Amino acid sequence: MRHLVYTAFMSLDGVVDSPGGGPDEEHRNGGWVVKDLEFVPEAWSIKSEELADTTALMFGRRSYEVFAPVWPGSEDHAAYKDLPKYVVSSTLPDDAVVDDWGPTTILRSTEDVAALKEGEGGAIFIHGSAELARRLSDEGLIDQYNLLVFPVLLGAGKSLFSRSDRDKQVLRLRESETYSNGIIKLIYDVTR
C-alpha cells in the first residue's frame, strides 16, 4: 500500500494558501513565507529530507496549473522532474498535461486516489493543493502531514483542515523541531 503525505507551509492559524504570493490572491497577505522572518537554512531542510522519500507527486488542478509551467525548468525542483505526477481533477482536459515533466496521470475522483494508494510503490507527496488535501483528509486518505508552521496569523486564506462534521482523526507526532526564527517543523502520522 502506498503512503500519501501532505507537505505544507502553514501559518499558526492554519492557512496554507499561497505562501509565496501569486496573481490570484484572495487576501492581502500573500507572500507570507518570505516576509518578515530571518532566513534560517536548517528550517528548510525538511524539503531535501522529503525528497529522499518521494516516489511520486500529487496535485489538485489549480496547483498543477501553477507549478507545471515553472517546475520543469526550475533548478530548485530538478529532482522532481522525472517523478510520476498525479493530478486529481474532474475538469482538467487530458491535453492540458505538460510535456517534459515526467509521466502524468489525471485521476478523476477520490476513489481513483484510494485505488492508487492500494497499489505498489512508495510515498506520494502532495504539494500545494489545499482544497485537495481537505477532501482527501475528510475521506481518510492522508497518512502523514509534514508541516512547517510559521509564526504568523493571517486571518484569511485557504485552511488546511475542513470544518465539516466528520469522524475524529488522531495524529501521532513523529518528529518536531523549532528554529531560531520561530518556525516549527511538525511531522504527524495519522493513526488508524
Q: Which set of grid coordinates corresponds to residue 65? A: 496549473
The model's confidence at residue 166, banded by pLDDT at 50, 70 and 90, is: confident
Residue ranges of the domains in the chain?
4-173
Q: Backbone phi, then psi, for 62, in 5-degree steps?
A: -65, -45
Sheet-wide strand order for 85-88: 104-107, 85-88, 54-60, 123-127, 4-11, 144-150, 184-191, 170-178
The reported pLDDT for the residue numbered 20 is 66
pLDDT digits (tens, 9 = 90+) for 118-139: 999 999 999 888 899 999 999 9
Quick check: 55 and 122 in contact, CB under 8 A?
A: yes
pLDDT higher at 87 or 44: 87
DSSP state, 76? G
47 burial level (CB within 10 Å; 0-12, 13-18, 19+): middle
Quick check: 50 and 185 in contact, CB under 8 A?
A: no
Separation between Cα atoms, residue 135 and residue 137, nearest integer Å: 5
* pLDDT of 28 higher than 80: no
Q: Please give the CATH superfamily to which domain 4-173 belongs.
A: Dihydrofolate Reductase, subunit A (3.40.430.10)
Half-sphere exposure of 112 (CA within 13 A, CB side): 11
Separation between Cα atoms, residue 138 and residue 136, nearest integer Å: 5
pLDDT > 90: what percent of the chain? 59
Task: Find, among 170, 156, 107, the residue nearest to 135 by Cα.
Answer: 107
Task: Quickly count helices (H) and strands (E) in the chain.
Answer: 4, 8
Separation between Cα atoms, residue 61 and residue 49, nearest integer Å: 26
